[in-house]
């Protein structure tokens, strides 16, 4: 399975780094390779600029979104919720036809201050809009409910004794994604909520997540479904 990660921010780097650490090749997609490599500022946590980060990781390649899509069977959408639909429109659905798309985005709206609200609720979801934008792709919503480090290393918290959700229309794609979550990342409890419409529940959990973050003072937590 060949992996692409769209997005070169903290989430994209965390996912690419994990896959790279497993010895799997990974291509990171970006809008402009020049701009991404020229950015000379690191992130909020004092990490180095992207060019320095990727220079230390031989198995990670940077490409345009289109070139990254071309070589991938599975694409992680590690993009801010505000831009993901625009990026997909720019790429066009043909480039991603038939591929498995892991949508880990959230429709967060920061325009009214913190905590952010949701720009899509109730009878629609960003997961559904991603699927609608890519009608020939096999979209699976997952990983949107935890901080980046836990996405790829759930075992770092309580030996992985907590839960992850998934939703998508394509049963085969969900089985492949489950292999990645379980085999590569170490998720033990993966709950299939059903079709992509169930992404509504997964995204509407975020306002509670944001408040738990506020109460805890850090993002190193997750929920376990006790049943």
Applying CB under 8 A, which residues contact its own copies?
Answer: 112, 117-118, 121-123, 157-158, 161-162, 165, 191-194, 198, 200-202, 204-212, 214-216, 220-227
- Our CB check for its own copies shows the closer of 26 and 103 to be 103
Nearest to 96, CA basis, from 120, 118, 68: 68
Shortest Cβ distance from residue 222 to its own copies (Å)? Answer: 5
Closest to its own copies by CB, 24 or 178: 178
75 beta partners: 4, 101
Q: Is 49 or 197 the residue whose CB approaches its own copies more closely?
A: 197
Rank residues 45 and 226 by Cβ distance to its own copies and give the closer one: 226
Least Å distance between CB 165 and its own copies? Answer: 8
- Of the two residues 9 and 197, which places its CB atom closer to its own copies in the complex? 197
CB 218, min distance to its own copies, A: 8
Element (DSSP H or E) covering residue 190: strand 189-194
Q: Which is nearer to its own copies, 42 or 194 (CB)?
A: 194
Question: Do the beta carbons of residue 166 and residue 194 sit within 8 Å?
Answer: no
Q: Is the dihedral of CA 161, 206, 184, 141 positive or negative?
A: positive
Could you tell me the smallest distance in angstroms from the CB atom of residue 23 to its own copies?
29
Shortest Å, Cβ 149 to its own copies:
14
Tell me how far CA of residue 209 lies from CA of 52, 160, 192, in angstroms.
32, 18, 20
How far, in Å, CA of 85 to CA of 129, rounded?
8
Closest CB 15 distance from its own copies, rounded Å: 21
What is the distance, to the nearest Å, from the Cα of residue 85 to the centroid of all Cα atoms in its chain? Answer: 14
Count Cβ neighbours within 10 Å for each residue of 45-79 and write b for 16 or more, e otherwise: eeeebbeebbeeeeebbbbbbebbbeebebbbbbb
């Amino acid at each position: 399975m060949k992996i692409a990660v769209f997005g070169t921010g903290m989430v994209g780097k965390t996912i690419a780094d994990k896959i790279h650490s497993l010895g799997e090749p990974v291509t990171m997609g970006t809008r402009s390779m020049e701009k991404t490599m020229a950015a000379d500022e690191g992130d909020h946590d004092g990490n180095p600029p992207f060019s320095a980060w990727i220079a230390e990781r031989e198995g990670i390649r940077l490409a345009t979104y289109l070139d990254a899509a071309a070589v991938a069977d599975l694409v992680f959408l590690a993009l801010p919720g505000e831009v993901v639909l625009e990026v997909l429109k720019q790429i066009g659905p043909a480039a991603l036809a038939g591929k498995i798309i892991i949508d880990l985005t959230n429709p967060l709206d920061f325009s009214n201050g913190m905590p952010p609200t949701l720009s899509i609720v109730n009878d629609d979801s960003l997961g559904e809009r991603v699927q609608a934008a890519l009608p020939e792709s096999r979209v699976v919503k997952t990983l949107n409910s935890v901080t980046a480090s836990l996405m790829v290393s759930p075992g770092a918290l309580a030996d992985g004794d907590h839960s992850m959700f998934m939703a998508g229309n394509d049963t085969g794609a969900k089985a492949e994604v489950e292999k990645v979550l379980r085999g590569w990342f170490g998720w033990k409890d993966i709950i299939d909520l059903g079709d992509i419409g169930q992404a509504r529940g997964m995204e509407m959990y975020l306002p509670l997540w944001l408040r738990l973050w506020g109460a805890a003072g850090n993002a190193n937590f997750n929920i376990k479904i006790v049943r």
